[in-house]
């Protein structure tokens, strides 16, 4: 197996994040700052819906940030440019309050450092529905600020999003590597195992809780029962296999 490139998911893979508290505070702050004339619940639901649409959008010539701003502009009757500036300002200021919900996951820094030490290309393959500034902050809070990644995906450099296979194909084209040279490490079956497998990549599944290790525990995942990760385990196991250049488990 000739693996040259290792892709890591960020949230709940490289970091430990309280996703519920994080998003509740995120929505609340954003609402207070720019959208307070709308009901909080309406804002929450419409932003969630718009984000889901961005994730499933298949417009090869439209960056994710454009798809997002277009939909927000239509929904909230604000010019796209103004919205973009508001978000930019928000990520530079209020967003910093979310740092308390994010910390490096156990073994994450060691796993990533090992990949660099062994000479692999390392990519952060995080759902590209946020701007670069927001993702770089979360990456720094995850203890990854000192690394120089080959690519970090975000809404301003990607046209496709997880869980689409096109997202992974787009990454492999951007970094000029064939999908079979790449392995994706992540905690979510649909986004981090199913998508890359369909695109032709290897996968390392690192579910956060052991009860999630059974892929078929969740009924909605039964339809993917033919898809299996190449490897599964903890970040510690990723470090071990990278140290061995994937040989032992071939």
- Other CB atoms within a 10 A radius of the CB of residue 231 amount to 17
CB contact set of 162 (below 8 Å; sequence gap of 6+): 55, 125, 127, 128, 191, 192, 195
Q: Does 239 bind Mg ion (CB under 5 A)?
A: no
Side-by-side strand order, sheet with 231-232: 151-152, 121-124, 5-8, 182-186, 202-205, 231-232
Place of tokens 């000029």: 176
Contact 7, 125 (CB under 8 A): yes
**Closest approach of Mg ion to the CB of residue 127, in Å:** 8
71 vs 184 by CB, closer to Mg ion? 184
State which residue, 17 or 64, has the beta carbon closest to Mg ion. Answer: 17
Classify burial at 117, counting beta carbons within 10 Å of its beta carbon; exposed 0-12, middle 13-18, buried 19 or more. exposed
Which range, of 9-17, 148-156, 204-212, 237-245, touches Mg ion by CB under 5 A? 9-17
Tokens of 20: 């519920």
For Mg ion, the closer of residues 57 and 127 by Cβ is 127
Residue 55: CB minimum distance to Mg ion, A: 13
The first and second tokens of residue 63, run together, are: 């960056």
- Residue 73: how many other CB atoms lie within 10 Å: 16
Min CB(170)–Mg ion separation in Å: 18
Counting contacts by CB under 5 A, is residue 170 touching Mg ion? Answer: no
Q: Which of 12, 15, 57, 203 binds Mg ion (CB under 5 A)?
A: 12
Between 9 and 170, CB nearer to Mg ion: 9
Q: Is 153 in the site for Mg ion (CB under 5 A)?
A: no
Restricted to residues 38-77, the positions that interact with Mg ion (CB under 5 A) are none
The dihedral of CA 235, 237, 240, 243: what is its sign?
A: negative
Stretch that binds Mg ion, among 1-9, 64-72, 130-138, 201-209 (CB under 5 A): 1-9
With CB under 5 A as the contact rule, which of the stretches 10-18, 101-109, 141-149, 212-220 interacts with Mg ion? 10-18
Based on the shown chain and the rule CB under 5 A, indicate whether residue 196 belongs to the binding site for Mg ion: no
**Binds Mg ion by CB under 5 A, chosen from 5, 7, 9, 122:** 9
Contacting residues toward Mg ion, per CB under 5 A: 9, 11-13, 187
């Amino acid at each position: 197996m000739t693996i040259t490139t290792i892709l890591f998911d960020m949230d709940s893979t490289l970091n430990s994040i309280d996703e519920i508290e994080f998003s509740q505070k995120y929505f609340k702050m954003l609402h207070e700052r720019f959208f307070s004339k709308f009901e909080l619940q309406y804002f929450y639901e419409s932003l969630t819906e718009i984000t889901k649409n961005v994730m499933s959008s298949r417009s090869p010539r439209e960056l994710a940030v454009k798809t997002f701003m277009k939909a927000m502009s239509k929904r909230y009757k604000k010019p796209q440019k103004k919205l973009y500036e508001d978000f930019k300002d928000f990520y530079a200021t209020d967003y910093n309050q979310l740092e308390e919900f994010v910390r490096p996951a156990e073994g994450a820094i060691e796993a990533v450092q090992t990949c660099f030490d062994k000479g692999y290309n390392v990519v952060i393959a995080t759902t590209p529905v946020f701007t670069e500034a927001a993702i770089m902050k979360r990456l720094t809070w995850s203890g990854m600020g000192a690394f120089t990644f080959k690519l970090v995906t975000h809404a301003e450099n990607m046209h496709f999003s997880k869980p689409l296979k096109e997202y992974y194909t787009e990454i492999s084209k951007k970094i000029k590597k064939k999908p079979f040279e790449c392995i994706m490490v992540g905690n979510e079956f649909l986004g981090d195992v199913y998508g890359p497998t369909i695109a032709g990549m290897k996968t390392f599944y690192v579910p956060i809780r052991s009860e999630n290790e059974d892929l078929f525990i969740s009924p909605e995942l039964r339809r993917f029962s033919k898809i299996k990760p190449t490897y599964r385990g903890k970040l510690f196991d990723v470090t071990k296999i990278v140290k061995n250049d994937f040989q032992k488990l071939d």
